[in-house]
Each structure stands twice: as C-alpha cells, then as structure tokens.
Structure 1
Amino acid sequence: MALFDLLYSFGVRMKEGTEFLAYGREILLGWVRQYAGSPDRSFSVLDVGCGKGADLLNIKTAGFHQADLFGIETYPPNQQICDAAGIKIFGVNIEEQPLPLPDHGLDIIIANQILEHCKELFFVFSEFSRVLKPGGLLLVGVPNLAAYHDRIALLLGRQPTCIKVLGPHIRGFTASGLRQFADCEGYFRMTDRRGCGFYPFPVFLSRLLSRLFPTFSTSIHLCFERTDKPGTFDSVLKSRHFETPFKS
C-alpha cells in the first residue's frame, strides 16, 4: 500500500467523531448574536441549502424568537422537516433562478457548505447582493482547500479530499481566495474570518488548532458585510473576461 493510502486510512480513523466541527455552527450563531444584539430584535435570516434547518433552528433555540427564518432547500424530506419546524422554505435552484425575495430585504444570509457545489458563483453572489440590506451579513462556510490534511495530499501528488474529481464539489476555496472573490467589486467587505475543525485530530485538539491556525483548518468561515454600493455582483462579468460562460 502506498504511503498516501496508509496516511489516508489512518486519518479517516482518527477524525471519526470530529466531522461536526467543520460546520462551524457555533461560529455562525456567534455572528448572528453580534448582529442582532437583543433577543427581542426582529430580523430576517435566509439559509441557502439549509438541509434540515440546523443553523436556523440554532438561532431559534438561542432565543431569537422574533427572527423570520427562511430556507432554500430542494430535497423534499428536508423541506417537510423545515416546514414542521416553522421555517419558510423555497425550493429554487440558486444557480438558475432568482431568490424569491425582494431587493434589500434580508438582514442575514447563511451559505454554509454550499458554495463548493456551485458553478454559477457570480449569479449566486449577484442574488446575495440584491436581497441583502446594506449593512446586512453574508455568513459563508466552505471546505478549506488549504487545510492541513489537503496540503499533505498535494505534497504527495494526490487530489485534495475537499474537491475530489469523483465527487460533488466543483470549486475549491482558500480563505484569501474567497475573500478576494467576494471583495473584488466592493459589494461585500469581510469583517471576520474563523477556522473550524482540524483533521485528523480529536475534538479538543481540533478546537485549539483551528483557533491558532485558522487557515490550516478543515473548513473556513467568513463573515461579509453588504456595503451600500448600488447594483449587483454580476457587474464583475462586465468588467472582466473569462473563458468560461457564466450566467448573469
């Protein structure tokens, strides 16, 4: 068995039980708390690719009962779970259809472990810029292409685990790369960056290492603020030429 295969098998065994850290749910809730301030404040949150509504329900459980909770989800069983929990669900394809929400009406958008699945990133961010209020937050969590374990994979000439060719992820992000993309036309401004998870170490050590070395973490979470710049993010496609056609 090749060295990489031995290391990979060992890492998989070691990381068992730590996968939940990569979702950064405590980090997201902390940013929501900072934005909302008082639990009595009324504000709106959209979770794009919300699954069973975990991040939205964390907000509700934390006592923000005045928050209007919306989710984008296309898998019917998850839609039913969210409906039963009081989350308003929209079953739209975010790469093809506009978000069914008015301009500048949302306070917070959560996009946690979803952007790595999207080719039409310019259209997705254009819709984010359209529906967020100036001063509203875009909370993004993605697998980290520069994670400690994936740096080792690349060093050994192997495909990074966060963007397998035979897999669902079609984009890879580093913290600096994602910031450069979101900030490029001035519609968003990064205000905070955190790391979460640190394969293949146990939970207590993963928490420590991800705080000390966030850019080596399994996942990266970035908080962006919507600026007051008019227009939408798809203006990027008008000012730059790409050799791949993108939806605008």
Structure 2
Amino acid sequence: MSPLRDFYDEPGVPINSGADRARRQVAQLREVLDGSRRRRILDVGCGDGAATALIARRAPGHDVVGLDWSTRALGQAREHGFGLVNGSAEPPGLPFGDATFDVVVMSELIEHLVDTDAALDEARRVLRPGGTLLVSTPNLAAWHNRVLLVFGVQPVFSEVSLREVHGRPGSQVVGHLRLFTRRALVSLLRARGFRRITVAGACYHDVPRPLRPFDRAFRRWPSAASILLARAERGELPGLVVRS
C-alpha cells in the first residue's frame, strides 16, 4: 500500500462521517431528488458509512452505493447494510461503467486527494448526461482563516505533515492535502466539464461557541463561509474521449 493509504488505515485517523457532514449531504440531496423516478447515487469516500446510511434512509426507493479505499472504513460501513465497493476516484479510477449514476456525492473528500483532476474526470464519466455532482469541502478563505493569517497562524483545515499538527489550531491530523477557495473550486469544476455550478456556505461544527454567531452569519456569504457546498451538472468537454 502507498503511505497515504497506510495513513487512512491507521486506527487513530478519523473515518467517521460526523452528524454535521451527514446532515449536509441529506440537505444537498433533497434539492436533487424530486421523487419522480428511481435514482442511482454514489457516495465517493463514504468513510464509516454513517452519512451514506442516512442518505439511504432519507432516500427510500433510490439505489445508494458507498465507495472507499480504506479497508478499515469499509469494515465499519458494512454494519449499515447498503451496497459497498472498495475503490478510489483517483487512478486507476472508479470501478463502474460510463454514465451509470444520476448523482455522485463527494462530501469532504476532495481535500484529501492527490489527483483532483482525475477524480473529477471519473465523477463526470460515471454520471449520466445531466447528472449531478455534489461536493462539500472546507474553505481556505473562511472568515476565521483570514483572521488567523493576519497574525501569521496556519489556517484551520490546512496541514503540512501527516504525522503532527504544526502551526494551526487543533491537535488531530486528518490528511488534508488540498484546500479550496470558492473561486478555485468553481474554476476547477468548470475546467473538468461541469456546468450550472452553484456554491452555498455552511457552518463548521468545531468553531468555539462564542464565535458561532459569526460563523452562522458568514454562512450567507459563501466566499467566507467555513464550508463550501457545490452543486454542478455534468456537461461536455470538447474533444474528450470517454473510455469504454
């Protein structure tokens, strides 16, 4: 296994979805699932499966599949009883055929990836024409990170080591390799062939209690919100050859 995969199978590394992430996933999906027909939903990077299981319960009648590359995570996710696949969106790619899903969810995943371009290409490939990609990720330009940078403090969510925390608040290493501003995320999605991109803001559960009113207020300004929630539709890339 690669050092990065070894990292995610270490017992101390968090793989739990968390209640806030689960609620965000369900809220995003409500806007996509109109109940008119059965949809196939792929949750890439499902972790321990708690959020995916909530999706399955809140979206009865739809097919929900969870995918993760961590054997430890999949071992816990099996307890929830939905379909699971061991795999990754990065090379060699998702183990599914072209145009097989109506919705692909990447919830707090993209910041953990080495090859974001390849992963988004794969998400687009397995989506049916007009299918929806839902992405949530921490915001590098969150209001609190802007304040921290003024004082020379490493932004929250960012990491410079897979072994220890250096120069930022918090004590737990979670494996964030990439961080996005709203502008960067929209630009990347557009470059990878997605269209009709919208971005909303969300709060971060670990903000100290006295500062939570600020976090709720900045949620209304996605560019400075703690969490970015993006929704995009599969478009077409000129000259793109889709593998069979």
TM bracket, shorter-chain basis: 0.7 to 0.9
Deviation at 1:131, TM superposition (A): 0.5
Confirm whether residue 41 of structure 1 aligns to residue 37 of structure 2.
yes
Secondary structure class of the residue paired with 2:176: coil
State percent identity of aligned pairs.
28
Q: Between Structure 1 and Structure 2, whose CA radius of gyration is higher?
A: 1
Find the aligned partners of 2:107 and 2:203 in 1 and give their Cα distance: 14
Deviation at 1:208, TM superposition (A): 3.2
- Name which of 97, 101, 121 aligns with 2:96: 101
Higher RCO (C-alpha 8 Å, min separation 6): 1
Q: Given the two structures, how large is their TM-score scaled by the length of structure 1? A: 0.75
Secondary structure class of the residue paired with 2:66: strand
Deviation at 1:225, TM superposition (A): 0.8
Unaligned runs of 5+ in 1: 1-18, 235-248
Equivalent residue, structure 2, for 1:225: 233
- Name which of 112, 116, 125 aligns with 1:117: 112
Whether contact under 8 Å (1:129, 1:232) holds in the other structure is no
Q: Given the two structures, how large is their TM-score scaled by the length of structure 2? A: 0.76
Find the aligned partners of 2:211 and 2:56 in 1 and give their Cα distance: 26
Q: Give the alignment's Cα RMSD to 1 decimal.
A: 2.6
Whether contact under 8 Å (1:115, 1:171) holds in the other structure is yes
CA displacement, residues 209-228 of structure 1 (integer Å, 9 cap, x when unaligned): 24323322221110111124
Taking a change above 3 Å as real, the CA distance of residues 202 and 139 of structure 1, as seen in their structure-2 partners, is: farther
Confirm whether residue 126 of structure 1 aligns to residue 133 of structure 2.
no
Secondary structure class of the residue paired with 2:75: helix
1:1-248 aligned within 5 A: 21=20, 23=21, 25-38=22-35, 41-62=37-58, 64-167=59-162, 168-184=175-191, 187-198=193-204, 199-201=207-209, 205=213, 208-229=216-237, 232=240
Taking a change above 3 Å as real, the CA distance of residues 208 and 158 of structure 1, as seen in their structure-2 partners, is: closer
Give, as a single letter, the amino acid of the residue that structure 2 aligns with 1:159: Q
Give, as a single letter, the amino acid of the residue that structure 1 aligns with 2:56: K
Deviation at 1:124, TM superposition (A): 0.7
| Higher helix proportion (structure 1 or 2) | 1
